[in-house]
Amino acid sequence: MIKRIPFWFSYVFLYVPILVVVVMSFNAGDSPYSWSGFGLGWYGELLGDEEVRTGLVNTLIVATGSTALATVLGTLLAVGLARHTRSKVLDAIATLPVILPDIVMAIGLLAFYTLIQLTLGLYSVLLAHAVFGTAAVAAVVRTRLASSDPSLEEASRDLGANGLTTFLRITLPTLAPGIVAGALLAFTLSVDEFVIAFFTAGPQSPTLPIVIYSMVRFGVTPEINALATVLLAVTFTAILAVQRLTKLTERR
Amino acid sequence: MTSLLKIADVRRAFGDVAALDGVSLDIREGEFFALLGPSGCGKTTLLRILAGFETPDSGTVTLGGDDLTTVAAHRRPVNLMFQSYALFPHLSIEKNVAYGLEREKLPKAEIRERVAEVLDRVGLSGAAKRRPHQLSGGQRQRVALARAIVKRPKLLLLDEPLSALDRKVRAEMQLWLKQLQHEVGITFVVVTHDQEEAMSMADRIAVLNHGRVEQVGTPVALYGAPRTHFVADFIGGNNFFPGTAVEGGLECPGIGPLPGAGEVAAGESAVLAVRPEQIRIGGGGTPVLRGTVLDVSFYGGTSRIAVRVTGMATPLLVRQQGAAQVVPETEVDLVWETADGVLVPPPVTTGTGASDAA
The pLDDT value given to residue B240: 93
Please provide the size of chain A in residues. 252
Query: Residues B18-39: what's their mean pLDDT?
Result: 94
Does A4 contact chain B (CB < 8 Å)? no
The pLDDT value given to residue A249: 58
**Residue A159: which of B53, B83, B99 has the nearest Cβ?**
B99
The pLDDT value given to residue B354: 44
The pLDDT value given to residue B342: 93
Residue B355: pLDDT band with limits 50, 70, 90: very low
Q: Is B74 close to A159, i.e. CB distance below 8 A?
A: yes
The pLDDT value given to residue B356: 41
The pLDDT value given to residue B1: 61
The pLDDT value given to residue A44: 86
**Residue A158: which of B51, B87, B104 has the nearest Cβ?**
B51
pLDDT above 70 coverage of chain B, percent: 97
Tens of pLDDT, residue by residue over A12-58, are 999 998 898 888 888 888 777 788 888 888 888 888 888 888 998 99
The pLDDT value given to residue B349: 54
Q: Is A157 close to B79, i.e. CB distance below 8 A?
A: no
Tens of pLDDT, residue by residue over B30-53, are 999 999 999 889 999 999 999 999
Tens of pLDDT, residue by residue over B299-342, are 888 899 999 988 888 899 999 888 888 888 888 999 998 889 99
Spell out a b/e string for B128-166, using b for 16 or more CB atoms within 10 Å of the CB, else e. Answer: beebbeebeebbbbbbbbbbbbbbebbbbbbbbbbeebe
Task: Quote the CA–CA distance of B99 and B143 in Å, as a whole number.
Answer: 12
Q: Which residues of chain A have pLDDT under 50?
A: 252
Average pLDDT, chain B: 89
Q: Is A158 close to B79, i.e. CB distance below 8 A?
A: yes
Q: Contact at 8 Å (CB) between A110 and A197?
A: no
Does A90 contact chain B (CB < 8 Å)? no
Q: Is B74 close to A161, i.e. CB distance below 8 A?
A: yes
A70 to chain B nearest CA, in Å?
24
Identify all chain A residues contacting B111, using CB atoms and an 8 Å cutoff: none
Q: Contact at 8 Å (CB) between A118 and A202?
A: no
SS3 sequence, B161-213?
Answer: CCCCCCHHHHHHHHHHHHHHHHHHCCEEEEEECCHHHHHHHCCEEEEEECCEE
B224 to chain A nearest CA, in Å?
38
Q: Is A158 close to B75, i.e. CB distance below 8 A?
A: no
Does A252 contact chain B (CB < 8 Å)? yes
A227 to chain B nearest CA, in Å?
41
Q: Is B88 close to A149, i.e. CB distance below 8 A?
A: no
Tens of pLDDT, residue by residue over B132-191, are 999 998 899 899 999 999 999 999 999 998 887 788 878 888 888 888 888 888 999 999
* Closest A-chain CA to B74: A160
Identify all chain A residues contacting B103, using CB atoms and an 8 Å cutoff: 159-161, 165
Q: Contact at 8 Å (CB) between A22 and A229?
A: yes
The pLDDT value given to residue A248: 65
**Residue A158: which of B80, B89, B104 has the nearest Cβ?**
B80
Identify all chain A residues contacting B75, using CB atoms and an 8 Å cutoff: 160
A158 to chain B nearest CA, in Å?
5
Task: Quote the CA–CA distance of B123 and B116 in Å, as a whole number.
Answer: 10
**Residue B89: which of A159, A160, A252 has the nearest Cβ?**
A252
pTM, two decimals, is 0.79
Query: Residues B94-121: what's their mean pLDDT?
Result: 94
* Closest A-chain CA to B133: A252
Residue B242 pLDDT greater than 50, yes or no: yes
